[in-house]
Amino acid sequence: MFLVEFATLSFLTFAPMVRLTRATVFCFALMLTVFAAWALAGFAFPATPGPFAFNVVSKILAFATALTLFLPSRGEASTSPPAAVSEPVASQPAQLPGRVA
């Protein structure tokens, strides 16, 4: 199972939209830790509260891992270049009709 998960994450790094970040690796490690704890408990079917909790937490961590793969970096969230600062138009007082300044 570990080999399949590791290979999947390795192949995803070749996709241009996917970024393997520290958060992704951390969520993945937590997910593997939950699976290891669940295995120590016997990998029971989630019919009782203990295995049910392991199942829910592992699914939430799997979703978080997948979500962090596709989130943009903080510095790259905006795709438009910053607007050039031009001479402000509002610095001149507004003229009323019929009045000459």
| Ranges of each domain in the chain | 2-70
Residue 86 confidence (pLDDT): 57
Span 18-62, pLDDT tens digits: 888 899 999 999 999 999 999 999 988 889 999 999 999 999 999
Give dist(CA 30, CA 38) in Å, integer: 12
Q: pTM of the entire structure?
A: 0.60
Q: Which of 63, 38, 62 is nearest to 48 (CA)?
A: 38
